[in-house]
Structure 1
Amino acid sequence: MARPTAWPDKVIALLRAGNPDAAIAQIKVAPSARELRALEKALAAGQLAGRWKDVDVAIRDTIDALAGPRLHRSP
């Protein structure tokens, strides 16, 4: 069983501190799509979903980017 990470809590702390730009920067360099989905669930649980439109867009865009196929060069 995977251990829950503290990353979503740190991003929510940035949002509650009134710094959505820093939260968006963290979202863009998220470790994985799993953490982003955990962040979405935490925002919904804290009734914060939809409060910051730019944050919601950044989450969706980053999930799409991480879920998409990787481009690579053949040897």
Structure 2
Amino acid sequence: MITDYKEIQHSALELDEKQRAELAKKLIDSLDQQIDDDIEQAWIDEVKQRKAEIKSGKVAAISGQEVHKAAREFLKK
């Protein structure tokens, strides 16, 4: 079994694109195993609030394309 970081890195980089992507996903998922219940609930509450605001007409949803356009314009300034 390979235990040296450099050897693991070298071996991983020799994998084909699909295998590297799968490995990357598994590594990232392994970092996200500890879910803070308070943070998780805060996000659920935020989503519910935003959904209610959109349904009530208090705010209007805009497309991702519009957001990206506005962000690009903002960054040009």
Higher relative contact order (Cα pairs below 8 Å, separated by 6+ residues): 1
**TM-score, normalised to structure 2's length?**
0.31
The structure that is helix-richer by fraction is: 2
